[in-house]
Amino acid sequence: MSAARDLKAQQVEEIKSMISNCKGMVVVSYQGISVADDTVLRAKFRAENVQYKVLKNRLVLRALKELGIEGFDNHLEGSSAFAFANGDALAAAKIVSEQGKTVKALQVKCGLMDGAYIDDTVVAKLASIPSKEVLIAQLLGMLQSPISGLARALQQVAEKAQ
């Protein structure tokens, strides 16, 4: 094998490792994004344990095919960057969605969740899900509501009895 072929095979293996180890992935088109906006985006990704890489579409497509993941053929064209969420599975989708509101050059192409292809509409829906902490707080609020209502009713009955 030639040195170039060896290098590409090594890069495909690294990409396969990143895909296998991530909890979620978002593919974005970044064409036209300014350096300042890209710097802010990368800082937000680092804060949330998301790897943001610009990779060759051909190599990513080869890695996906070797992993048995289908559906990305039509989306890996033009400028593509890949956000691999290693902590919170939805972190990459949330950051891209949030930044996409202010940076119009940032467009979601598709994504990967639980080893399966998801399109841009599903990525947008996943990004709108509240964080785990917010969901837990909402659940606790719902569980506490009937108890606090009962306590207020008992307090009013006790006050009337006096």
Structure token pair of residue 23: 């909890």
Taking only the tens place, the pLDDT of each residue in 57-114 is 888 888 888 888 888 877 788 888 898 888 777 888 888 888 888 887 788 888 888 8
Task: Give the pLDDT score at 53.
Answer: 87
pTM for this model (two decimals): 0.74
Stretch (H or E) spanning 12: helix 3-21
Cα(19)–Cα(124) distance, integer angstroms: 20
pLDDT band at 136 (very low <50, low <70, confident <90, very high): confident
Task: Give the pLDDT score at 48.
Answer: 85
Write down the residue that tokens 């919170």 correspond to. 88
Task: Give the pLDDT score at 1.
Answer: 57
Taking only the tens place, the pLDDT of each residue in 25-55 is 888 888 888 888 888 888 888 888 888 888 8
